Amino acid sequence: MNIDKEVELINPKLEYVDDEMITVWDDCMCFPELLVKVKRFKRCVVYYKDLAWKDNFLELEGDISELIQHEYDHLDGILAVQKALDERSFKIQIK
């Protein structure tokens, strides 16, 4: 992952700080022109090991928190389309 610098996340684990959620139009390279309305936690902490196998964590909020939750879902085989709020939570993005 590249935030301000490159960060390798080995064996990441997510923890949600509280119950506050945000609703976003999520996009994914799996479906390049599709946007999906989903709910994600506003804040999270990701615990991980770095390349030196040292324990680390990042406290994330907002867009970057949403992004890490999206990517973490992929590790479990979950796509944004499976998290759609309802059947009206899809739209095509024309570029």
Choose the catalytic residue: 15, 59, 66, 71.
71
71 given a catalytic annotation: yes
DSSP-derived secondary structure for the chain: -BSSSB---EEEEEEESSS-EEEEEEEETTEEEEEEEEEEESEEEEEEE-TT--EEEEEEETHHHHHHHHHHHHHTT--GGGG-SSTT-EEE---
* Catalytic residue list: 71
